[in-house]
Structure 1
Amino acid sequence: MPICDPERSEAGAALTALILDLFRLSNRMLAAGDRLVAGLGLTSARWQVLGSIVAAERPQPVAWLARDMGANRQNVQRIVNDLAAEGLVDFQANPHHRRAQLVVLTARGRDAFAAAMRLQAPWINRLSEGLSVPDIGTTHAVVTALERKLDSDTKD
């Protein structure tokens, strides 16, 4: 149901409704991810950080991982510290910044991430049933456009 407000444009009201749906979806996705990887000793947040490390072209400091995730640096630091305590990540010296160590996966971290992705594949295939690839592409384009607009708003 669109949010009715005389000061919102029609698109603004539609976007407000979409954002509220995205908040609910995000919460449900995190809960589903937690259930999916619980048996591996992971949470959605830990899995997401591991995935960001894997996706990076080279080892990065926590601040860069947080930026790439669109997350708070302190939250990512806490999760990285937990992952390090469990032997899933390690720290390397950063030749460009003495205090901002680089985060790298350990063999155990690579194994945990690979196991999570093996669980994710059949789950995501079931979740995508009945959705069209063009609709998914359109949704992705809208979300990406919103991310760019939000990024440019924070730089102003």
Structure 2
Amino acid sequence: MSEATTTPKADALTELILTLFRANNLTLTWGDRLVAPFGLTSARWQILGAIVLSRRSQPVAWIARDLGANRQNVQRIVNDLHKEDLVAFQPNPHHRRAHLVVLTDKGRRVYDAAINAYSPRVNTLAEGLSLEEIRTAHRVVAMLRGRLEEELDAERQP
């Protein structure tokens, strides 16, 4: 049986990926605790944020695409947010069945409360890190994301 060998760069990238997995899990737990007082989870907060930060109202499929998430999972969470009057559905002039998801006034208040709790906490997390370190980490993770998206897209091609 032959063992595949990796380069030192690949080994370092593997360590980064493992650290990203761990950081992602901790980030979700941290986020869940941070926004729980507002009736949110990290997943719900993330979707509210995607709605707030988009330049225009979008259907669920577009929100899922922007988040790199599964459309069905996003639909389930959006439905839950709708039941709690945090989002509403509006007619989509370009598609009869794919309604646009918009934030309600209540959704805006909940999102703003979550951001107000987040801001001092993220400032504390940023302490001891230089702006350049943060930007470099972002650049590396964004490049990795892009390469992974390309690879997954290539696998989907017939």
Q: Secondary structure at the match of 1:38?
A: helix
Structure 2 residue 54 is matched with structure 1 residue 56: yes
CA RMSD of aligned residues (A): 1.0
Distance 2:77 2:4 in 1: 43
Task: Decide which moves more: 24-33 or 142-151.
Answer: 142-151
What's 1:27 paired with?
25
Matched with 1:126 is 124
Task: Tell me which protein shows more strand as a share of its residues.
Answer: 2
Q: 1:155 to 1:6 in 2, by over 3 A?
A: closer
Give the SS at the match of 1:99. Answer: strand
Distance of 1:132 and 1:53 partners within structure 2: 30
1:154 to partner: Cα distance:
2.5
Distance 1:75 1:27 in 2: 18
Query: Quick one: which amino acid aligns to residue 44 of structure 2?
Result: R
TM-score between the two structures when normalised by the length of structure 1: 0.94
Residue in 2 that maps onto 1:89:
87
Aligned residue for 1:130, secondary structure, equals coil
Identity of aligned residues (%): 57
TM norm structure 2: 0.93
Shift of 1:9: 1.2
Aligned to 1:111, the other structure's residue is in SS state helix
1:150 Cα deviation after fit? 1.5
How much has 1:132 moved relative to structure 2?
1.0
